[in-house]
Structure 1
Amino acid sequence: MLERATWQGTNIRGNQDTAANFFKPQGYKSADCIPLLIETLHDHRKEIARLTIVKGTNGDLSGNFFKSQGYKPADYEGYMNGLDFTQPVFAETINRGKTLWQFQVPGGRQGMRYSPTPDVVPGQLGINPLGQIYKTETIVPKIVNVYQSTEKVTLLRSTSAPVLDTWSVSSQPYNAIGGAR
C-alpha cells in the first residue's frame, strides 16, 4: 500500500512532509524517510518492470496459442487471468493415449483446465470445488474425471494463478489458491 500511495501522484523529491508522514508511524525520523521511500519506489518499479517483461512474453505466447486454436480475445481473456505469468508458459503436444484429469460437475461439459495428475484439488487448478448443474440452481461438489487423448493434441502448459472464480457458482465467488501446473 505504501508504494502505491506514494508512487501515484506524489512528487517524492518535492514533498518531504508527505514522505515523512508515511514513515513516522513506523518510528523513522524525517531525515531517514526520503532515502527509504525512494528505495521502496525503486524496488517497486523494478518489480513492475520484471512482471511486465514476464507477462508480456508469456501473455503473448498464451494469446497467440488461443488465437491459433480459433478463439477470439473475448473468449480467452478471462481464462488468461487465471495463468501465473511468473511461471513458464509453453505450448506442448501430447500423443494419443495421454491421460489427463479434470474436475467438473457430475454429468457436466468439459472445461478448459486439465491436470497431468489426479493429485491436486480444484483450488490449486484455479477453480471452485463446487459447481452449478447446468440450467438449474443446484450446487454440487465437482468430481474428478479421467480423459485420454484419442489423437495428438497441442495444449497450453501453464501454472494456475490465485484467482477469484466467479464462473463456477456465480452466487458464491471462490478464492482459488492456484499453484498447480
Structure 2
Amino acid sequence: MTFPQTAGRSLKAARPARAPRPWADPQTLFLVALTVLFGVYTSLAMGMDWKSSHGRLAAGFFPRIIGFAALLLCVIALVKTVRQSLRRSAVGEAPRVPEAAEGDGVEGQYPRALLAVVLCSVVFFFLFEPLGATLSSVVFLGATLSVLNRGKHLVNAAVAILLPVFLYLLFTVLLDAGMPGGFLNLG
C-alpha cells in the first residue's frame, strides 16, 4: 500500500529539508568562544582607569584598544564564517576540512613547532628580568621565527630587531611606561 503523498518518491525525499545549522561548524563554535572571551576581556579593561590623575594615559588605555579591536575582528570573522556555512548548507555541501596530502609529514610538524614555541616562551620568561624587555624580546622573536619561518633569515632578523625597538620607543620613550631594563638598563 502506498500513500499518495509519497508515491514515486523515496523516503529520504519525503523528509523535510533540514534547516541550516551554522553553529554546528567547529570554526563557528571556536569564533563564538573567542568572541565571548574577548568580550569578558574588554569588560574587564573598561573597569580599569584609562587616564591617570595627572592626565597621562593609564593602565586601562591599551587593554581597551586591544579588546575592542579583537572583538571587531572576531565579529567580522564570525559573520564571514556563518555566511560561508549558510551558503554551503544551501548548496548541500559538507563543511570543508583541510586535508594533508599523503607523505606531507604534517602530523609530526605541528607538535614540534608547538613544543619549540613553548620552550622559547619558557626561556623568554626566565630571561625577561635579567636581560630586560627589549633584549629578551629580540632573543624570543629570533628563536621562534627561526623555527616558524625557516629560511627567511633577513625577514626574521628585521622583525626580531625592529618590533622590540618599536615597542621600546613606544612604551619607554613616548609613553614613559616602566619596562624591565635588564643589565643594559634599557627600561
- Classify the TM-score, shorter chain: under 0.3
Larger strand share, 1 or 2: 1
Choose 1 or 2 for highest CA Rg.
2
Larger RCO of the pair (alpha carbons < 8 Å, separation 6+): 1
TM-score w.r.t. length of structure 1: 0.27
